[in-house]
Structure 1
């Protein structure tokens, strides 16, 4: 029995030592949260805990915090300090560095990170490549045989005020051994903002679609971009410009070649790291015949899978409408569910 009591005391002492060496966050309502402060950025304290996983606490709700290990702290004034952070009560903090002790207020901390890591503000302003590879495949066997396959590769070099993007995709579908979809497309685009609201863009797309009798289609355009909403979790960009469209058909339809007007709308909204909703719309009418136009609309929701930053599931709908098509159908509507793997 003494051995058991001794083990219990040793365990309690070990837990106490562990908790005493951890970082601490005191909220304005008096709650005490213990864990490891990994980052302070954009008014949010990121705290890793053993009991509740990763917590995000609004800095406005924090009375004070302290760290056991050194942290790099950047104040609102731009001052940088590196060292352990201790709370001195009433929202006051003491940062102890090799150059001395600095006393400040919790609200004046703009960012904090572990030594050796990068300032989050610097990281946000860097241009970085991101790659996406996606696959959606469905099949049905029985009274009706169906099969569809869709693949897409995308690469983006994104900065705070510009984006360079490339993509390639292929879609194929069969029903009762008859092809109902056989389309390949690819393109590139670049968009740059020279002010908070105004920017410019250029894009080009190449496409072939045997089911719609499109042997080759080329669409190029450029113009002005307008940032109607530009927030951390939401953006809305409107585009308008001029372009040129050329289409060669597989049947006897006369090839089309005409200058165009280019309109676009792109919306993105992220909800609490739970999902991202994206909506894209383009409307391209011919200048010499406004009734000859093409509309492409794509709306989808991307949901992270598990705790991974790499795997996502996208569910969406895509509509392609041509007012004067070579095929019988003017509207192509597809519903899709894609598995996406992203990496940087």
Structure 2
């Protein structure tokens, strides 16, 4: 290799290191990349070789960043400038107004000027929408057709969620309608501590196949957040409710006070695949043997490189202990194409 070429390559390499952020850990490792964020005592370092690495600040011996950062101290003071820690428990912020040296324990967060305070991002409520379709058919010895559609809208914050849903299902078997169900509802859930919260929900349903002209279910009660992690959540609910059912035939309308129990579980695998399980148990207070159980378990697989399209496969069971329909249990196996957006 020619000396001039070697000098040029060396200059580019040295220049790239000089412009990069450097983090040195207590065990002697030197990590080079870009400090995206310092939040809750963790440095987020984006590298070209391993993506974003998260390093606890108590494992960092020193770090250096010439690029400006916005720093928020625990006292609420906000400064912008280059940051560096030369070891120990001190950090230096070089701002336009001068140099501030303080303890690293007093740094609540630091982020790029083009980014947002992570605390503000965590506390923001955001709308999320989702639409799905499930369409299957068969012609030949038998003619079968099934259409299932749904729409969900969710306004979610760190400690509360407002949700709306709409479902429609229709199916035919050799010209005979086997499904014709429309349902919709809304719910709100809010947590006032890490574990405890409250909820309220309402649902309306019409299902002529099951002789239901109108079913109205309303409930409110307490929520218990048993697991609340980035990759997994588990919420249990218990409360009181009221259910009213008007039938298509001459059967007398029914209404009763109910108990309301529920479990909602989500689990995300490797930030891509997602499993979701929901279970609702609504017994009558007057007659505990009269109850309704709804179970829905699904698994989502992303389609393509984005987060918008995915395929959801699952099973849904609806059991009615006291019903005018021919069967007490309705079981649906589904494969849906789902599109979600903000």
The answer for the alignment partner of 2:95 in structure 1 is: 97
Instruction: Output the CA distance in 1 between the equivalents of 2:147 and 2:309.
Output: 19
Shift of 1:156: 1.5
Instruction: Output the CA distance in 1 between the equivalents of 2:50 and 2:289.
Output: 59
After TM superposition, the structure 1 = structure 2 runs for residues 246-261 of structure 1, keeping only pairs within 5 Å, are: 246-261=244-259
Extract unaligned runs of 5+ from structure 1. none
Deviations 1:246-303 (A, max 9, x none): 2222334333222222222223344552444332221111222222111111223344
Q: Residue 39 of structure 1 contacts residue 112 of structure 1 at CA under 8 Å; is this kept in 2?
A: yes
Change (3 A) 1:9 1:121: same
Change (3 A) 1:91 1:223: closer
1:227 aligns with 2:221: no
The answer for the alignment partner of 1:331 in structure 2 is: 329
The answer for the alignment partner of 1:262 in structure 2 is: 260
Deviations 1:56-105 (A, max 9, x none): 44545443332231111234554433211224245753221133323355
The answer for the alignment partner of 1:283 in structure 2 is: 281
Change (3 A) 1:144 1:28: farther
Would you identify which runs of 4 or more consecutive aligned residues in structure 1 move more than 6 Å?
none
Aligned mate of 1:47, from 39, 45, 48: 45
Instruction: Output the CA distance in 1 between the equivalents of 2:27 and 2:18.
Output: 21
Change (3 A) 1:274 1:240: same
Instruction: Output the CA distance in 2 between the equivalents of 1:34 and 1:307.
Output: 28
Q: How many residues align?
A: 342
Shift of 1:161: 2.6
Instruction: Output the CA distance in 2 between the equivalents of 1:8 and 1:337.
Output: 58
SS at match of 2:70: strand
Instruction: Output the CA distance in 1 between the equivalents of 2:59 and 2:301.
Output: 29
Aligned mate of 1:310, from 292, 296, 308: 308
Q: Residue 302 of structure 1 contacts residue 312 of structure 1 at CA under 8 Å; is this kept in 2?
A: yes
Deviations 1:21-40 (A, max 9, x none): 12223334333332222223
With normalisation by structure 1, the TM-score equals: 0.85
Deviations 1:2-59 (A, max 9, x none): 6xx6556434433432332122233343333322222233444333333344444454
Supply the RMSD in Å over aligned alpha carbons.
3.0
